[in-house]
Amino acid sequence: MAAKVGIVLVSHSAPLAEGTAELAGQVGGEAVTIAAAGGTDDGRLGTSIGKVQRALILAETGAGVVILPDLGSSVLTVRTLLAEPEDLPGQVAVADAPFVEGAVAAAVTAAAGGDLKAVLDAAQEARHARKL
């Protein structure tokens, strides 16, 4: 079977990243690698470049990775990493999307075999999705 696009969830909170990864994995099925990178290296609220790097390596299975940052400095942390593209494990795209909805939509599209652009678009289309 062809490699699936991976997903990395970057949050200030480790439980938030892990819980969102669990939910998106349940909705999308088990075929997609969704790696959580939440909190600082010493377990506080914040972000860690090292955690995001490790999550990227986990999520890259040959088809690229879509990163979803939650708020503010998560975006800065991701941007810092992307500034050194030679250190990335493969193709990486950052989604400008709501965290939970974007993760769920990305997981479903990745599970169906969508390419990096399709998964990125699915996450970003979540900006327009209504829930009521």
Distance CA 42, CA 60 (A): 25
Cα-based distances in Å from 92 to 41, 63, 85:
22, 9, 9
Per CB under 8 A, which region of 19-27, 55-63, 71-79, 80-88 contacts another protein? 19-27
Q: Check residue 17 for interaction with another protein (CB under 8 A).
A: no
Q: Of 7, 8, 36, 107, which lies in the binding site for another protein, with binding defined by CB under 8 A?
A: 107
Q: How many chain residues are in contact with another protein, going by CB under 8 A?
A: 22
Quick one: CA torsion of 128, 29, 57, 101, rounded to 10 degrees?
20
Q: Which is nearer to another protein, 52 or 70 (CB)?
A: 70
Residue of 79, 115, 110 whose CA lies nearest to 94: 79
The CB-of-3 to another protein minimum distance in angstroms stands at 16
Annotated catalytic, 12?
Answer: yes
Distance CA 29, CA 12 (A): 25
Per CB under 8 A, residues contacting another protein are 23, 26-29, 101, 104-105, 107-109, 111-114, 122, 125-126, 129-132
User: What amino acid positions are annotated as catalytic residues?
Assistant: 12
